[in-house]
Structure 1
Amino acid sequence: MATVQVSEAEKVYILHGVRDDLRVDGRGCEDYRHMDIETDVVSNTDGSAKVSLGYSDVLVGVKAEVGKPRPALPDQGYLEFFVDCSANATPEFEGRGGEELGLELSNTLYKVFSNKQSVDLHSLCISPGEHCWVLYVDVLLLQCDGNLFDAISIAIKAALFNTRIPKVHLSEDEEGGKEIELSDDPYDCVRLNVENVPCIVTLCKIGHRHVVDATLQEKACSVASLLIATTHRGTVTCVRKFGGGSLDPESIFEMIETGKRVGKALHTPLMELLKEEESLGKKRQKVGFLG
């Protein structure tokens, strides 16, 4: 993960500001920075989105391909994640640094999104045990300014909302097998229901308080972070701890409650924005999410 060096005087300044609910950039502890969301940005994908959060830029493309269901789940499709950390984002992503972070991000995304609580995987099934849709979700980190998980989760939700899967027509061949015919009409498609797709809220413990959407400078002052994936109803689907410091049970409980509250507040304007953008035929909107 990208890091910055912060002096002791800067740490004290940041710590005192967080204690008084006034961060360096003027936000409160539960406020997000302004976010720029753009959908339908990559022409050779079935769905795409670009999210800018502060100076963090994330590009997500979704490609739907026909595949074979997994043996344990013959009546479901599935998602595959790949995260590429551009060396232009930060020098730390050069060489193995970017590969290790990309693998860590991919593994976390599997836990957050690739389950029936997040995406209706049954709707991706074409023929049980034989054919299903596989959604390849490619994430490209263009620039890093902290809080990557939150930006990636919002970009994935926006890209899945933008995804259009061709309708499938099944027929039997002369030998009794099933033939698949995909519609070539761009308007003859299926849309995913992304209402339950969670957003990730990452909280960083700084002093005796915790903050949402931490910058790299604030991250350097944090002893530990808690990643909380929550749906629009406030249901927590995944919790992960990062960092070498410890969190006491009371802090964990408070951070989870904050994550649920902020996550619920994050979903509503995001969905309204995506629906408005689609209805008006616009390709770019700007919005600031505040917890």
Structure 2
Amino acid sequence: MAVVQGWKNWYPGRLGYVDFVFGLDNLRNDGRGCEDYRSLDLETDVVSNSSGSSRVRLANTDILVGVKAELGEPAADKPSEGRIEFFVDCSANAAPEFEGRGGEDLALAISNTLAQSYDNVSSLDKRKLCVIPGHQCWVLYVDILLLECGGNLFDAASVAVKAALFNTKIPNLDVTKNEKGEPSLELRDDPFDCMRVDVAAAPCLVTLNKIGYHHVVDATREEESCTLARLIMGVTADGNVVTLKTEKSGSLDPESVFEMMQTGKRVGISLNNTLSAKLKQEETMAPKKGKKAFLR
């Protein structure tokens, strides 16, 4: 096993991780390769009073997502589209640093990154959420609750959001006109007559953490504490990058960014395809309480 040279000089004494090793053998401290995710447990339809929901457990990271579809007015600059809004809440029990208002910056960063990822027609066609152009549309309120923090929150949140949107059912409406010629909405009698959200092109976030000379995906909290810079990418199943942002105080040279983007695309395509296959498989299963799909 190759040890990254100079490691103790760069990261002295952080959480006892000075002996963190990986490299030529593509082996991390927990036995994973640089591009390997931990086991992910995914469950959908877990919140009864929502339009769609999911829960994701990625090792010690635990995230619950609920989607509520409500009628509202479209944005003034996009009168023929619906809206999707993200709200993130960091539970005080998730991590000690979330107590009080400690999780507000992280919550804002996650919600903004997700909003950017879904703010284009290639990710989610919001025109299908329009009911009466310029007057009425469906607004999807996506509530994300961080129950436990075990690292890699951005990726886990994006997987949970995509699964919850896949599970979302929106009632179909009939648009009629009253005696004055004004449009009115009528809910159809059949409660199972619903519209589904097409998430085939919805992105998953892939976070690449630069540690020493290498970059890793799905970093643990210990690995994140050793990270000076990281790249967060929103990647679709076709490999399109819809979001790209850097975080932390360290810098990344152009060659590193290129290599990390290539890794992010490769990992993002695999993550999207595996997630979609599991969601479709779960959809065809006989309805029963506690259905689960596992990503391994």
Q: TM-score normalised by the shorter chain: which range applies?
A: over 0.9
Aligned-pair distance for 1:241? 0.3
Residue 264 of structure 2 is matched in structure 1 by: 259
Equivalent-residue separation in structure 2 for 1:6 and 1:40 (angstroms): 45
Aligned-pair distance for 1:6? 8.0
Residue 154 of structure 1 is matched in structure 2 by: 159
Does residue 93 (structure 1) correspond to residue 95 (structure 2)? The answer is no
Compute the RMSD of aligned alpha carbons: 1.6
Contact 2:14-2:225 within 8 A present in 1 as well: no
| Higher RCO structure (Cα 8 Å, ≥6 apart) | 1
**Which of 273, 284, 291 is equivalent to 2:291?**
284
Does residue 120 (structure 1) correspond to residue 125 (structure 2)? The answer is yes
Change (3 A) 1:252 1:134: same
Residue 201 of structure 2 is matched in structure 1 by: 196
Contact 2:42-2:295 within 8 A present in 1 as well: no
SS at match of 2:122: coil
What number of residue pairs does the alignment pair up?
284
Equivalent-residue separation in structure 2 for 1:132 and 1:214 (angstroms): 39
1:172-217, Cα deviation, whole Å (9 max, x unpaired): 1121111111235331000111110000110000111100100010
**Which of 13, 18, 24 is equivalent to 1:7?**
13
Contact 1:49-1:155 within 8 A present in 2 as well: yes
- Structure 1: runs of 5 or more not aligned: none
Residue 28 of structure 1 is matched in structure 2 by: 33
Contact 1:6-1:220 within 8 A present in 2 as well: no
Contact 1:18-1:206 within 8 A present in 2 as well: no
Equivalent-residue separation in structure 1 for 2:285 and 2:293 (angstroms): 14
Aligned-pair distance for 1:117? 1.7
Change (3 A) 1:9 1:56: closer
Equivalent-residue separation in structure 2 for 1:269 and 1:46 (angstroms): 24
Normalised to the residue count of structure 1, the TM-score between the two structures is: 0.94
Contact 2:279-2:293 within 8 A present in 1 as well: no
Residue 7 of structure 2 is matched in structure 1 by: none
After superposition, where does 1:1-291 map in structure 2 within 5 Å? 7=13, 10-14=16-20, 16-18=21-23, 20-281=25-286, 283-289=290-296
Higher helix share: 1
Aligned-pair distance for 1:257? 0.5
Normalised to the residue count of structure 2, the TM-score between the two structures is: 0.92
1:213-253, Cα deviation, whole Å (9 max, x unpaired): 00010111111110011000111001010110010000000
Contact 1:79-1:136 within 8 A present in 2 as well: yes
% of aligned pairs identical? 54
Change (3 A) 1:181 1:228: same
- Structure 2: runs of 5 or more not aligned: 1-10
